[in-house]
Amino acid sequence: MSVATKLHSPVCEPRAILGPGGNRVRVLEDPKRKGEALKKPQQRPRKPTVVVSEVPQLVVRSNGSVDSSCSSDSSSSGSLAKPVSSKKTTPAPVRRKGLKPVKVVPDGVEVVAPTTRISGPPKRCDWITPNSDPIYTSFHDEEWGVPIHDDRKLFELLVFSQALAELTWPAILNKRDTFRKLFDNFDPSSIAQFNEKKLLSLKVNGNLLLSEPKLRAIVENAKQILKVQQECGSFSNYCWSFVNQKPIKNGFRYARQVPVKSPKADVISKDMLQRGFRCVGPTVIYSFMQVAGIVNGHLLSCFRYEECKINVEKVSKPKTDEESAILTKALEMTSLSI
């Protein structure tokens, strides 16, 4: 072989090959080495496998999963258990367009509905306070201002209105049973028979129930009520005739606006004094009109104001033609005498 032939003979030199992994240069291996490689495969470095026992508890609780390599190993071997959290978590609400998130309640959790707000005590007239006597509060809530048409009851309330000059409402109400016992349940025909000895025996714990002038006025008023019953049919007809059988509605908002007397009370007081009644001044008569329901004296803010208006239809007593004729004749006679 010539020299030229030797010079131009191809020489096997390594060439750079662009592999799929990047611009790394791979050199063609020698066939001998390649054979050795086939006999003893080259071991590639494996990524470290993480064991559950070696994972810190903090990582398991916070992440809830391990590395992706661990997840691949667990899918093949099935040796990696799912992390268990000590605290039961609730799934986050799914927000959808146009829908509000719904609170998911875990199983076993009892849902307690919110309690309704309990309202406070009802609004009463300003002269009834939390420190008022309970018997006085009950009297205000149940009796005061309710229209009365019974003669005995009206006579009782008239006596109580006269007693306000010496006693308070709580004191009177605490002695109400004593009043009824000593005054024969306020029967006008019985009280009209009281003599001097009977009057002086009206004592409680050694003291007179009321002053002597007041006791004498009660006996005299009982006699006058009997006369009114003969003229007008009943004491109720006489009292309610001054307001056309309908209660007067005051409609005051504040206690300072409530008067101690009224023009109507002046008219009734003058008529009763003309008939011979005693201790029936305008102030006494106005108190009597309020407690007997002839005047709705409750404040507008009091819950009893509207209730007393409803009671007017329930307890109002219809008048017959005979009673109306007797009442009209009695009033005409009274106006002529005046």
Q: What are the binding residues?
A: 125, 140, 298, 302
Query: Which residue, 302, 310, 304, is CA-closest to 253?
Result: 302
For the record, the structure tokens of 58 come out as: 């903090």
Sign of CA dihedral 305, 310, 315, 316: positive
Give the whole-angstrom CA distance, residue 242 versus residue 118.
44
Q: What are the binding residues for Zn(2+)?
A: 125, 140, 298, 302
Query: Which residue, 328, 306, 312, 259, is CA-closest to 287?
Result: 259
Tokens 């009292």: give the residue.
239
Sign of CA dihedral 327, 191, 160, 131: negative
For the record, the structure tokens of 104 come out as: 């998911």
Tokens 């009365």: give the residue.
148
Scored b (16 or more CB within 10 A) or e, 95-109 reads eeeeeeeeeeeeeee
Is 161 within 8 Å of 128 (Cβ atoms)?
no
Question: Which helix (H) or strand (E) element contains residue 191?
Answer: helix 188-191
- Chain-centre distance for alpha carbon 79: 63
- Give strand pairing partners of 157: none
Tokens 């309640």: give the residue.
105
The phi and psi torsions of 249 (rounded to 5 degrees) equal -100, 115
Is 313 within 8 Å of 286 (Cβ atoms)?
no
Give the whole-angstrom CA distance, residue 330 versus residue 320.
15
First to last CA, the chain: 174
- Chain-centre distance for alpha carbon 61: 48
